[in-house]
C-alpha cells in the first residue's frame, strides 16, 4: 500500500494511507471495466446475430443408419447476450425405411452469445457454433438431436452452418 506521512501521537508513529492509496483500487477497477466494455455498453467481441440467417445442416444416427439433410432460415432477435426467434426448413431423412420428408418450423429458444460463440435450441436439437473473426455474416458448428417415441430413440450428431 502507498503511504504518505505519519501520525505522531508523541510516543508512536503509524503510517497513514495517502488519498491516492485510498482511491487507487477504485481507479484501477474502473479502468479495467472500461477496457472490457466498448462504447455503447456491449462487449467488444460479442457479435450481433439478429436478422435472417439461411442455414444448411447434416446429421446422422449411425447405429440406426439414418441421415438427414436440411436447408432453411432462422429469424433471430437478440437482446444483450440472449436471443430467440423462429425457423423454417425443408429437408429429407434417409434410412432403412427409405426417404422421409423433414420439413418443419418452430421456435429458436435459449439462445446465448458469449464473445464469438453461440448456443441455442430448436425442438429436439441443441446447436453450438462460432462466428469467424474475419466476418460476422457466417455461423458454423455442431448439432445434437434426439427424437423418438416409446419404441425407439434416434440420437443424431452433425454439423450446421448459416449465412446472412
Q: Is 111 exposed, middle or buried (0-12, 13-18, 19+ CB in 10 A)?
A: buried
What mean pLDDT do residues 53-65 have?
A: 98
CA dihedral 41, 45, 51, 56 (to 10 degrees): -160
Distance from C-alpha of 136 to C-alpha of 93, rounded to nearest angstrom: 30
Q: Residues 135-153: pLDDT tens digits? A: 889 999 999 999 998 999 9
Are residues 146 and 104 part of one domain? yes
Supply the CATH number for residue 126's domain.
2.40.128
pLDDT of residue 11: 54
Which residues constitute the domain of residue 138?
51-163
Mark 60-81 as b/e (b = at least 16 C-beta within 10 Å).
Answer: bbeebebbbebebbbebebeee
Three-state SS at 44: coil
Q: Please, what's the largest Cα pairwise distance for the chain? A: 97
Which element (helix H / strand E) includes 25? Answer: helix 19-36
Are residues 66 and 24 part of one domain? no
pLDDT of residue 104: 96
pTM (two decimals): 0.72
Amino acid at each position: 500500500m502507498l503511504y504518505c506521512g505519519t501520525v505522531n501521537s508523541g510516543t508512536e508513529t503509524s503510517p497513514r494511507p495517502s488519498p491516492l492509496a485510498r482511491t487507487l483500487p477504485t481507479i484501477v477497477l474502473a479502468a479495467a471495466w472500461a477496457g472490457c466494455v466498448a462504447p455503447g455498453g456491449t462487449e467488444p467481441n460479442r457479435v450481433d446475430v439478429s436478422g435472417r440467417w439461411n442455414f444448411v445442416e447434416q446429421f446422422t444416427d449411425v447405429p440406426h443408419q439414418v441421415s438427414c439433410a436440411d436447408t432453411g432460415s432462422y429469424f433471430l432477435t437478440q437482446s444483450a447476450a440472449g436471443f430467440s426467434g423462429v425457423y423454417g426448413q425443408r429437408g429429407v431423412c434417409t434410412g432403412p425405411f427409405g426417404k422421409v420428408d423433414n420439413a418443419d418450423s418452430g421456435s429458436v429458444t435459449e439462445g446465448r452469445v458469449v464473445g464469438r460463440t453461440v448456443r441455442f435450441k430448436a425442438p429436439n436439437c441443441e446447436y453450438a457454433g462460432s462466428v469467424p473473426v474475419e466476418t460476422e455474416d457466417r455461423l458454423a458448428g455442431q448439432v445434437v438431436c434426439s427424437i423418438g417415441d416409446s419404441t425407439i430413440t434416434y440420437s443424431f450428431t452433425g454439423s450446421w452452418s448459416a449465412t446472412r
